[in-house]
Structure 1
């Protein structure tokens, strides 16, 4: 028993130097000349929770890991030329430009009532034929719309034929001429065309079936009758809408109406046709609030070339908010990154280096923003891909790019 205990003690004594040497070796790896070596870590651009101490691929998505420089104080971000092309990073040289502010209002296209035609029966009768039976159909001026059976119209035709025959028996008599002209005017007032009256004289036969034609072209918006239906004089037949011009109605809050006046010029942009902006003159401002809302409306009309726009479509109305400013440093709106800590842009420094710069902005519109501090003319500023640089900086360095930045 004593022999076994002695052997164990000797074995422990032999292991102590080995452990001490291993510890010293480990310290050598961790320290060199008293300086702790920094361990490079890598992470996944798509899954930042993946952190490794060696280069490799992400176990989740398989992407190559990138260096994670959380402790780096360098403000510049390195992006090689190939990655710039893939990320669509483009720059522009900032310079002086003129800028005018504008406010965007939500609007819509509606039918201009002045472009509508209301077709009504000129005389009492029965709808014998209805040549257009569907709404949404486009009709042309002079196109037949319906045929009416009217005994009253047949009686007026007979009256006209008798007046003409009577005039032939007394040529040159002014009274007979007046009777003929009066009978003709009645036919015209009741919807007979000059061609129909001429045909009546040629055939010398009255016809109670009379076809009525479209006085204007347009799209059938409403049909009020059916074949076989009796209609009274003045009864509604159908309504045609013209789309050659359209109204634009835009919603405005009451506190904004003070800066808008009738006769003011504004810009109208139809989504999908941004390359065809229209200039509109405000012709009417609603004096009261819309029912159930806290909004009022402004209205104007725009031409509808080739009738490419339909009522009900969305329209964006841009109302100027002030006078045009003198020349100022301006950038596209998307070039400025805005977050809870302020506003900044990315400036290209060299071939592959990008640095953030804190800026302050002034007046802006839907396309341009004024830079009042932080940049000077001639700097190359990123205009597309700025948000990608912002995200990559946070991913690689673990902090906001404008932390510690001051305006220059």
Structure 2
């Protein structure tokens, strides 16, 4: 963009209003040329050099010099009055409005906001039943089941013939006829030990293996005629009364999530509906590719509409918390560090390094570097920061004195 002569003059006048104070012997930017009376008496001060505020790195000895921008130069003075020992950029109060400088205070308040993320429905891995054969035998009958079938509690999986059970049951029947209660009790106990459900005495070695819970069959290995070994798995059933919603939360928001926190989910398949639940776990490992944490939410699923694999938008309750806040526009991010421009109330400004947290509703959380009540520049801070950088003013470190 090319500036015309009037725009250049106006911008130069704005820069000329900024005054730099560097310790007790700081430098002042003024709008007049030549020597002027010192602040403390009638002794004239001699300019150090002349320069164009638009290109402050160029120094001239002649007050009538023109800069490379074609603009007239202004004097740079050495301040010998020792009025201040604090480094900073000083601006005449009457010029602050022209420069667009607006101040704001660092205040303790509530950082409002919510955390909206995405997630996927999964089985509740705590509601799982493993259906096994308790003894060696043979599958005589299956019931037409297949993986993915939804079954009720007690639904039959397979009929199994266990030869060992037939012999034990025959012995039990013979002992029972003797009327000896001690022997009968011992025989019944043997039935239980070899795996006959409840020590049953009927069936002569044949038993029906049933699912102990209702849900969906996730694996099924029961096939007619198959020989079974003791403890061999016939099926795995996942309950559907509750499901897990695994939400991906950015690791930078890890502090906003806690176990027991309420959550709601919205699914595209059920527009206008919200499913409520709570956070039951924050998994201990992060996803390296997406830099997210997995937050596990338990949702009720009494009607079975929530199906594993569905995607959902997750609202993780109210994440508001108390914090030290400044306007977000006051924060200067340089890439290597984060700064604000401090104001001392007397027209002097100095950069200060800060560590920031979450941002919401135009407010940024300050974790370190400021205390409540300190004034920061909310508008015009980039002009002041540029002047401070050009003249070598060091930023107040985070561990520095707040005064």
Q: What is the TM-score when the length of structure 2 is the normalising length? A: 0.49
Q: Which has the higher helix share?
A: 1
Structure with larger RCO (C-alpha < 8 A, sep 6+): 1
> 1 or 2, which has the higher strand percentage?
2
Q: TM-score, normalised by structure 1?
A: 0.48
Task: From the CA coordinates, give the structure whose radius of gyration is larger.
Answer: 1
